[in-house]
Chains A and B, each alone.
Chain A
Amino acid sequence: MGSYLPLFLLFVLAAAFALFSALLGPLVGPRRYNRAKLEAYECGIEPSPQPIVGGGRVPVAYYLTAMLFILFDIEMVFLYPFAVSADALGFFGLVEIVLFISTLGFAYAYVWRRGGLDWN
């Protein structure tokens, strides 16, 4: 509990610094209204009404990447306690972790073969 105190203090100060900076701009900066300034920037052309990305939707590849990310994130998170206690666990732990990695390896290979990792 006590060991988090510096971290908490740093967080408060960092957040205060960020808030101060974010508020500084509108406080001291000039304000000159111009309707054209408030439009989204599209290289000087009048903003086109349709969203650019496939009708406003995002390609599915991003979603797949995020899904794979979670998969490997969880794998990573399990690998840390394994790595820390690997010496105590010995061969038994090694077999376990190889099993775990290869099980996920199958999922990975499946996604790869189906083309889920290809971007175009």
Chain B
Amino acid sequence: MTRAELLADDPLWLILIKVVVVLLIGPLLTVFMIVWERKAIGRLQQRPGPNRVGPGGYFQSIADAIKLPFKEQIIPATADRKVYFLAPMIAVTPALLAFSVMPIGPQVSIFGEQTVLQLVDLPVGVLVVLACASVGVYGIVLAGWSSGSPYPLLGGLRSAAQVISYEIAMGLSIVGVVLYAQSLSTGDIVEAQQNGWFFYLLPFSFVIYLISMVGETNRAPFDLPEAESELVGGFHTEYSSMKFALFFLAEYTNMIVVSAFATTLFLGGWMAPWPISLIGDNYFNSGWWPILWFFGKMFVLLFCFIWLRATLPRFRYDQFMKIGWKVLVPLNLVWIVLIAGLRAIRGESDVTTGQILTYGGIVILVIIGLSFAFDRGRVIEDDDQVPITGGGYPVPPLDLEIPKAPKRKAVRGRNRRRPAAVGAGTDAEKESNDGDL
């Protein structure tokens, strides 16, 4: 039986179990993700992170989740109350819905009932995720608009423009996968990767998807809708108590969904990774094992989100839109035409991949050569240009040597003078108090 037939055969009690499990994946992983993120970023920044509640501080977000409903909810007087109430719900509901099409595992038996680990396998599963994403934006935009306050409005607008821009890049990068899998169903896409995962068959699509998934979820370095240094809290500035928590839930659930989606589309979904897949005639690819692989891959991607946030500074808005519209979209279209062309050539005539690569390489070499031939060097420097530094204003000398950072152990425990090159002046004594460079 195919996946869809197995799923259609599910009795009601099994459907209910699956629905509850899928519904709980979002909130539970969110609670875990928040504390994991805080711990991981803490480590990356050489500090402990939350360490009070529970073992190693790992119960911190449970404590936060219990705390939030008992906080006062403040609705600004300028707010549009109906829309203000509706916005967090619109943000959360589609985010929770999107996980339903993710194939978590192959055929298993639950209480004697043969089924697959997936809630629904629609013939248009990919579109379900995209539709949920596009409805979810409304939550953010409406939150910004209904707050009746300038910072949220700016955040909401930015978010609208950002998410729709990156949705295009994301949707186009999926076209390549659909082309190779010849299906829009997520279950079929995973099964089409039996002979090779799409992340190396379609490297361009994969990279573009990874970039756009960060942009789509409003995460650092693309977290412009809630840029703290510019917009206070962005679209949820005026939200408090449980409604604020709902936006948090939506953000993290969206992260989980796009990571699961990336796993499904490019990383072989529930299939065991390469060296393990050789063991015992692919024994680890059957039964309940695939859950481990699926969530393992997903957590790797989720860790990348955290890692990015700790590593990269925020983009400027114009740079961000430029990447989306002037780089990702055209590159994507060219790539789609290229792979569609390759597929058509291979389908129509018996040209081997080697020949295509050879001729393609020659064409690319010729293009590169031509571009060198027509390149007449850089534009001549403008005489009228004003030197931005110097000109009588104090600037640091160019040969400034940055003193080596002392080892942390040496710093601890005693007050230490800063190197003279930096700490010159009357405030040296005062600054030495904080004991950390």
Contacts and interface: CB of A to CB of B under 8 A. Distances in A.
What's the dominant secondary structure at chain B's contact region? helix
B132 to A, nearest CB: 10
Interface of A: 2-7, 9-11, 13-15, 17-19, 21-22, 24-26, 28-32, 37-43, 47, 51-53, 58, 61-62, 65-66, 68-69, 72-73, 76, 79-80, 82-84, 86-87, 90-91, 93-94, 97-98, 101, 105, 108, 112, 117-120
26 contacts: A2-B8, A3-B121, A6-B7, A6-B19, A7-B122, A10-B22, A11-B93, A14-B23, A15-B93, A17-B23, A21-B246, A22-B89, A22-B243, A22-B246, A25-B241, A26-B73, A29-B241, A53-B150, A62-B157, A65-B161, A82-B340, A83-B175, A84-B183, A87-B347, A108-B330, A119-B317
B331 interface: no
A87 B344 CA distance: 7
B167 A69 contact: yes
Given A6-B19, A42-B150, A112-B326, A22 B97 contact: no
Given A14-B96, A25-B243, A90-B344, A69 B76 contact: no
A55 B336 CA distance: 43
Given A29-B69, A30-B70, A39-B76, A76 B96 contact: no
B120 A3 contact: yes
What's the dominant secondary structure at chain A's contact region? helix
B41 interface: no
A76 B172 contact: yes
B20 A22 contact: no
A117 B147 contact: no
Most chain B CB within a 10 A radius of its CB, from A53, A105, A119: A119
Contacts of B344: 86, 90-91, 93-94
B61 interface: no
Contacts, number: 216
A14 B76 CA distance: 27
Given A4-B120, A25-B69, A73 B179 contact: no
* Chain B: number of interface residues, binned into ranges: 35 or more
Contact of A17 (B18, B96, B172): B96
Contact of B165 (A10, A58, A69): A69
B138 to A, nearest CB: 13
Nearest to A9: B19
Given A18-B92, A93-B344, A43 B16 contact: no
A52 B240 CA distance: 23
A1 to B, nearest CB: 10
Interface string B216-241: 00000000000000001000011011
B211 interface: no
Interface of B: 4, 7-8, 10, 15-16, 18-20, 22-23, 27, 68-78, 85, 88-89, 92-93, 96-97, 100, 119-122, 126-128, 147-151, 153-154, 157, 160-161, 164-165, 167-168, 171-172, 175-176, 178-179, 182-184, 232, 237-238, 240-243, 245-246, 317-318, 321-322, 325-326, 329-330, 333, 336-337, 340-341, 343-344, 347-348
Contacts of A29: 69-73, 241-242
Given A21-B242, A43-B232, A66-B164, A94 B69 contact: no
A65 B165 contact: yes
Given A10-B96, A97-B340, A119 B89 contact: no
A119 B7 contact: no
Given A18-B246, A41-B238, A69-B168, A7 B120 contact: yes
